[in-house]
Amino acid sequence: MKYLITIAYDGSKFFGFQRLNKGVSVQKELEDALTKINKKSVEIKGAGRTDRGVHAHGQKASFDLSIEIPSERLKNAINSLLSDYIYVKDCKTVADDFHARFNVKKKKYVYKINLGEYNPIIADYAFWCPYKLDISKMKKCGKLFLGVHDFRNFVSGERANYTAIIYDISFKKKKDILEIGFTGKSFYRYMVRNLVGAMIEVGRGKETLDKVKEMLKNKKNMSLFTSPACGLYLEDIEY
């Protein structure tokens, strides 16, 4: 029987989503719990590999069990075996050929920036920006990223293909917290953090919109500020 789960986790307590030889990962904790339930080894397929410090409200993962368990009962059983920093929000059965990563239609990420006074209580959950930002300039920068682009200058590591499509970029301010939402088909390593970094550089007046346009067109190795992982959340995934 194949299942799909929706997961929330506090990324500050993990070394990322992907299973590691050393260090606590979201994948390992889930697989350990599922293996106890299944009484046979279970490997999950995550919809995305969030890095160390990145949080999630709507991460997804699919897996096969050799036993059949009602979805709600399975959800409760998994949660009973997890630490306090990870929680399965939903569980449902899916078709045998379903894959949590390959079947994705849209992903939404949210990046949170603390524009107010430094607050140690939320330091792991929003990036504190010490500079005054012009949000109108940041919005103009965000519009440059909409549509299909070669994002090689905004991605970490080597890839065969750097092309991705971003459908929407939204801005929402709640008191001192600025939330920037990104909806797209695919996001590569550090991509959202680099896009936010470019917006911050433009918003503080250190870089220009023309520089960002050049980075989208030019295949040379160019880079700007990479915003910290603490402000990034995998918000939702659509299939």
Q: 149 in helix, strand or coil?
A: strand
Contacts of 48 (CB under 8 A, 6+ apart): 17, 59, 101, 107, 187, 234, 237
- Alpha-carbon distance 80 to 68, whole Å? 18
> What are the C-alpha distances in Å from 134 to residues 138, 201, 204?
7, 10, 6
Q: Which two tokens stand for residue 162?
A: 């750097």
Instruction: State which amino acid sits at residue 219.
Output: K
What percent of the residues of the chain are helix, what percent strand, and what percent coil, each to the nearest 5? 30, 30, 40
**32 in active site:** no
Query: One of 10, 32, 51, 236 is an active-site residue; which one?
Result: 51
DSSP per-residue codes, 151-205: -GGGS-S--S--EEEEEEEEEEEETTEEEEEEEES---TTHHHHHHHHHHHHHTT
Query: Quick one: which of 219, 66, 212, 190 has its CA closest to 139?
Result: 212
Q: Which positions are catalytic?
A: 51
